[in-house]
């Protein structure tokens, strides 16, 4: 992932993150600030923070030289974070294994099966700025717009199972990756 400052961040499965900045590699892990060494996703917001989704310790955001964590205790639906995106209002959205969270910088609002999602295990998340598109690990696409969830179930002939990646393109297309 390339952040707004031009630094390259590499998430690893067991060794934290590696930052490449000004021709220098630096590793961050549990021994020097990270709360988890398994990184599942990385994104940056428009304010310059770099966000890391972890496998078991929630979210970590980095600004300057400081790491700050958001976890279930802070309102996340789960500490296994699979995707991160930012909407046009600047709110951060997170896909977890127990629903979706929206963080406005002050509080966290969540969506799950109790309030409209088709399935709690979210594998991917993208936005067009206004709508949030969430792919589930059971193959549905949940779209959140103005707080309301609409569920789309692709035809069985497509054979879509676990949605693990999504990409929103400038022409308004949403590309979906499955396993």
Can you spell out the DSSP letters for 19-66? EEETTEEEEE-GGGT-S-SBEEEEEE-TTS-EEEEESSS-EEEEETTE
pLDDT of residue 163: 94
Q: Residues 43-82: pLDDT tens digits?
A: 999 998 999 999 999 999 988 788 899 999 999 999 999 9
pTM (2 decimals)?
Answer: 0.93
pLDDT of residue 85: 97
| CA contacts within 13 A on the Cβ side of 68 | 8
Q: Could you tell me if 45 and 86 are in contact, meaning their C-beta atoms sit under 8 angstroms apart?
A: yes
Residue written as tokens 């400081």? 66
Collect the ranges in the chain with pLDDT lower than 50: none
What span, in angstroms and rounded, lies between the C-alpha atoms of 141 and 174? 10
Q: What is the 3-state secondary structure (H, E, C) of 58-112?
A: CEEEEECCEEEEECHHHCCCCCCEEEEEECCCCCEEEEECCEEEEECCCCEEEEC
pLDDT of residue 74: 95
Burial class (CB in 10 A: 0-12, 13-18, 19+), 71: middle
pLDDT of residue 66: 85
């Amino acid at each position: 992932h390339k952040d707004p400052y031009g630094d390259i961040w590499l998430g690893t499965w067991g060794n934290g993150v590696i930052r490449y900045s000004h021709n220098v590699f630096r590793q961050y892990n549990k021994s020097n600030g990270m709360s988890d060494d398994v990184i599942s996703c990385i994104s940056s917001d428009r304010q310059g923070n770099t966000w890391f989704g972890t496998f078991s310790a929630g979210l970590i955001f980095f600004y300057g030289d400081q790491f700050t964590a958001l976890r279930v205790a802070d309102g996340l639906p789960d500490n296994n974070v699979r995707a991160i995106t930012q909407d046009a209002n600047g709110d951060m959205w997170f896909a977890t294994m127990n629903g979706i969270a929206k963080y406005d910088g002050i509080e966290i609002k969540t969506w799950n099966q109790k309030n409209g999602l088709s399935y709690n295990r979210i594998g991917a998340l993208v936005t067009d700025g206004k709508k949030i598109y969430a792919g589930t690990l059971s193959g549905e696409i949940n779209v959140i717009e103005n707080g309301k969830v609409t569920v789309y179930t692709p035809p069985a002939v497509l054979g879509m199972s676990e949605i693990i990646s999504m990409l929103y393109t400038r022409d308004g297309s949403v590309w979906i990756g499955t396993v």
